[in-house]
Structure 1
Amino acid sequence: MRPDLLRPLLGTLGLLIGFGLYAWAGDLPQPWQRLSIGAMFAALGISAVLYARGERWIQVLGSVLILYGVLRAFVIG
């Protein structure tokens, strides 16, 4: 069984980009800060749901991320 080395590399790269974008969004003025961070969580949730392909727990996690992203953008300040 050959390990897939690309997956951990892409995961690490994704984390670095995510933390960088989150830090950049934290410097934005309101309401753009709230809206951009909410959009990032929602986009992460959408990508998780699309990636899941039948894995129910990932789909649930993606749905929770979408819900949190929408709440973060419009309700949670």
Structure 2
Amino acid sequence: MNIKRLINEVGSSYISYRQYCDKVAIEAQKYIDWDNDIGCEYFPSDGVCLTTTDADVCPATAFFRVIEEKGKISQSEFKSICV
């Protein structure tokens, strides 16, 4: 077992994960005008989620489903699909 290689792979994978999360958050931010700091994280029980400065957590799939249907989302709609 090459532990140094495994540790390096973890670091590389995490950097890639953060880059993809940033892309999802930037895309989501385009549809939100009520919070200027949307984040993206992976939660084991909920998957990829969007987060707000108020600590609301919304599954990204549910968020983008609403966007696909309506083209925008209000803060109350966002909160209604949060976990």
TM-score, normalised on structure 1? 0.43
- Higher radius of gyration, 1 or 2: 2
Higher helix share: 1
Compare relative contact order (CA 8 Å, sep 6+) and give the higher one, 1 or 2: 1
